[in-house]
Chain A
Amino acid sequence: MKKTLNVFQFYKANQAFVYRLIEGLGKAVWMVLETFACIFKLEINCKSTIEQMVEVGWRSTPIVILTSFFTGMVLALQVGNATSNLFNEPVYVGTVTGFSMVIELGPVLTSIVVTGRVGAAITAELGTMKVTEQLDALYTLGTSPVKYLAVSRFLACFFMLPILTVISNIVGIYGGLILSTNTWGLSTYTYLSQSLDFMTVRTFIHGFIKSFFFALIMVIVACYKGFNTENGAEGVGKAVTGSVMTSIVLILVTDYFLTTLLVALRIK
């Protein structure tokens, strides 16, 4: 007998799982649609949006600066080492560091760091509200949890993550600069001209577009996991872990496909 991959058999075997997956996707889509509806109707709580922006943007800045600075330094160090081995002198240090930061590491690293900080916090807060019936209480008081809680977080992440990414780019390039001038004896001018000469507006836009998508992934996953938390304190723990893991995996996988698409569209 020939063994074929039978979609129907697969479905039969994993029926419960498939149902849950579809149900989950449906709920997530519904949540996102409701969020967009609130935003288009301008049903936005300005005070809490600003509070969230401070939390997501301002309070994440130190950690983003710290991680980007070291990432920039290690990039410059590795590129210098590798090219020294090959050509007996460090070449392209500024170029590779700059490019890597702007198109790849800036957006990805920032979104992962922010997921660990903000995504986890969002899921924990909403999840706790769910298991202590505060979301039910919101409903009985005539307020939709999406409108009251998700919209402000959504806007905050969507606008703050790209800004953090720009900060990350600048700090990363600066970290590379410090290392290159000290370790490889490059002049500030050489390093910066290497970094910036080949960079076009499109290069910059490439990284910027990615960061918007990563922000969406992070905040949608975080809110969804929070709103659907079950089973008390243990459930909150599981939801937070699930939220961070799902976000990171989705960000890294999306990164590949998004890059392919952007390159095909000549935004590179």
Chain B
Amino acid sequence: MIRVENIYKSFGEKSILCGVNLEVCSGQTFVIVGSSGVGKSIFLKTIVGLIKPESGIITIDGIDITKCIVSDLRKIQKKVGYVFQESALFDSLNVFENVAFGLRSLTNLSEEEIKNRVTKCLTMVGLKNVEHLKPANLSGGMKKRVAIARTISYKPNYILYDEPTTGLDPIMSDVISDLIISLKKYLNVSSVVVTHDMKSAYKIADRIMMLYEGRIIFSGTPEEVKNTDNEYVRQFVEGSSRGPMQQIDRTFKMG
């Protein structure tokens, strides 16, 4: 179980997270939505320990990641997978080596097994015959899928996805949504998914929560989201530029 209590994080004067709580039980898929720049990526990174919050507690299966010892940290790294928003593939390694990286560092599989597992994971994200390519020679969507394959390869119990379907065509988005669902079904993986893609969110989520101004302003099942009268959520879901979240000056006058 991932449990996040009262996380605070700010950069200088600007506070990004002000007391965020989250609890992900095993086999649950949690979707986080929110406007661009509210701090969704920052929040995901604090969960895996890439960013240290100013205060708050993050425990993964009972281990507090902000103050645990190295051997515990390794256990947690093995349990938690992270898909980066910008893919973050190792550009000195080819696709095969990228996907095999986690298998080599976190598991004791033989070369033969690694080879099979890599091919299988790449097929699961709809990629074939790309093993020998370097990340620089892939399209954005292909990179994203390689990044997903790299994360699912070592079968973590928890996977945090930062916008897994952004930049993919609608069909591929649906393939990835199905992948997240089947990982949950067959391997009991719990996921936290940051996404702007409401169609995919409704399909995969057990719960959807919305982040706004450093706080969670809404949390509920997809049905509840569809029927809510929370103005912020409605504006976001409908994708309307008119509503309580005013981001721009509507007069559109230049100069």
Contacts and interface: CB of A to CB of B under 8 A. Distances in A.
Interface of A: 125, 129, 132-134, 136-143
Contact of A136 (B50, B78, B80): B50
Interface residues of B, number: 22
Interface stretch (B24-32, B99-107, B221-229): B99-107
Contacts of A132: 86, 88, 91
Contacts of B105: 141-143
Contact of B77 (A125, A129, A134, A141): A141
A140 B80 contact: yes
Contacts of B91: 132, 134
Contacts of B89: 134, 137
B50 A139 contact: yes
Interface in B7-51: 45, 48-50
Nearest to A128: B91
| Chain B interface SS verdict (over half) | mixed
| Chain A interface SS verdict (over half) | helix
A137 B162 CA distance: 13
Contacts of A143: 101, 105
Interface-central residue, A125, A134, A142, by most chain B CB under 10 Å: A142
A142 B102 contact: yes
Contact of A137 (B74, B90, B106): B90
Nearest to A140: B82
Nearest to B150: A141
A137 B99 CA distance: 12
| Closest CB pairs A-B (n = 10) | A133-B88, A137-B88, A142-B77, A140-B82, A141-B102, A142-B106, A143-B105, A142-B105, A136-B50, A134-B88
Interface string B46-61: 0011100000000000
Interface in B58-110: 74, 77-78, 80-82, 84, 86, 88-92, 101-102, 105-106
Contacts of B102: 141-142
A140 B82 CA distance: 7
A132 B136 CA distance: 13
A158 B39 CA distance: 43
A140 B86 contact: no
B106 A141 contact: yes
Nearest to B81: A140
Given A136-B88, A140-B81, 20 more contacts: A129-B90, A132-B88, A132-B91, A133-B88, A134-B89, A134-B91, A136-B50, A136-B84, A137-B84, A139-B49, A139-B77, A140-B50, A140-B82, A141-B77, A141-B106, A142-B74, A142-B77, A142-B78, A142-B102, A142-B106
Contacts of B88: 132-134, 136-137
Contacts of A129: 90
Contact of A134 (B74, B78, B90): B90
